Amino acid sequence: MLLIFICLLILSVGTYFIWFSRYNIPAHLEAAFLFTRYVVPLFLVDTVANFDANILELYKEILLIGSICYLTGLIIGNNIPLIKLKYFTWQVLDEEAYNERVIRITRLLFWFGVGGILISYAIMGFIPMFASEPLNAKFFRGQYQAPYLRAAVIFRIANYILYSLPPIFLIMWYYYKKKIYLLYLFIVIALIATTLTRGNILYGALAAVGVICAYKKQLFKYYMVALILVFSLGSISFYLVGLLLHNDALIGMYDRDSIFETIALGSPDITDHLTFLKAFELNPIYTYGRTFFGGLIPGHYQWNPSVWALSITNPKDDVNDITSGGLRLPLPLWGYVSFSWVGVIILSLISGLLNGYLTKAIKKLVKEAKNVIVIMIVLLVYINIYGQIVTFYTISMYEIPVMIFMCFYMFRFQVK
């Protein structure tokens, strides 16, 4: 179990090896996830007991080779000289002019995102949090699928935009001390909560808190402890919401015999990995990279990474009826199912190489940043744009609008 944990640790927070800084907020957030995703299922709950020894051994070998190649790529990428360009807006505008630009863009995105979600709910005729079958409603399965499809494009784009706004509003409030930004923040978080999307409700806000704590050195020592607590509560958030709303459907999703079993049920990554690998080995049809672009094709395209992964673990079921948004599979596993062992090596090495180089670029931009607002924007570029480049093997069409909108923070566009 220790070897599996170390490999997953490298794949999750490997950038610590090249950027061990309090400003490496994405790595801090991933580190906080380690407890619920890996420590609990591997060491506190016997998650792997029901899996065959051969599958466990194969899983270990894939993770070991992949993590070594990924770490090698990180180190090589970190040693490639950066292209010396000065083209980001925050580099050419003075501090206050850039801050005002951020405020204007963020307000526009706020109204676009809020309006899009409300229009989507009006078209769909239901709100996931208050639906009679909340889990099916969250994943738009069963009776909720047809209404959702009528508003899918608007809903997804608006949803992804809202995900990126909490950290900016929180940082704007911290910098300017204006309560209106807290109101914006509350509205955004409340709307995201109604979708029952747990991870995205606080991820951005916690990233902003991390920037503030990194800026105020004396607060940072409490940050990581708080993150672990928050993510532990997040893994049982459906259960807590069920108690609050007296919703038996949400409460019934969890096994309440043990707090650790409850946490493991809310973050089933290890179980998903092994279940997927076991199913794949029974019928090993390699993707040959078709899932790399499958997420860019609308609808439930068979090579969409989420759709394909679910179809492997549920070969006899209609993917449209499965109450899941997909599986969080580690990088080496995607390499394995794409090109076998060659894929484990090459995909892990390329992703590490890209991440090493881009992390080096972000590290330099953070060091040159003029204030916490600029630091926050730089880190959001890292998460929303550079992060998608690094995970090119699972990119989704719904992430592209956010990448485009982030460009407005990065560059100035003039119509002539």
Rounded-to-integer distance, Cα 394 and Cα 405, Å: 20
- pLDDT reported for residue 389: 94
pLDDT over 80 (residue 44): no
What's at 198, amino acid-wise? Answer: R
Q: Are residues 44 and 122 in the same domain?
A: no
Residue with tokens 């180089």: 357
CA-CA distance, 26 to 309, in Å (whole number)?
25
pLDDT at 416: 46
Asked, for residue 253, whether it belongs to a domain, the answer is: no
| Rg over CA atoms, the chain | 21
Residues 100 and 215 in one domain: yes
Q: How many domains does the chain contain in total?
A: 2
- Find out whether 304 and 37 touch, Cβ atoms under 8 Å: no
Residue 332 has pLDDT above 90, yes or no: yes
Q: What's the CA gap between 253 and 250, in Å, rounded?
A: 6
First-residue to last-residue Cα distance in the chain: 61
Clarify whether residues 240 and 192 are in a common domain. Answer: yes
Identity of residue 74 = L
Residue 35 lies in a domain: yes
Tokens representing residue 339 in the block = 């090109």
For residue 103, what are the contacts with CB-CB under 8 A and spacing of at least 6? 172
235 and 116 belong to one structural domain: yes
Q: Confidence band (pLDDT; 50, 70, 90) for 249?
A: low
Residue 43 lies in a domain: yes
Same domain, 168 and 273: no
pTM of the model: 0.85
**Residue span of the structural domain in which 221 resides:** 95-248
What is the mean predicted confidence (pLDDT) over 216-239? 73
C-alpha to C-alpha distance for 312 and 195, rounded to whole angstroms:
27
How would residue 230 be classed by pLDDT, with cut points 50, 70 and 90? confident
Instruction: Provide the H-helix boundaries in 134-257.
Output: 134-139, 145-164, 166-176, 179-194, 198-215, 217-235, 237-245, 248-251
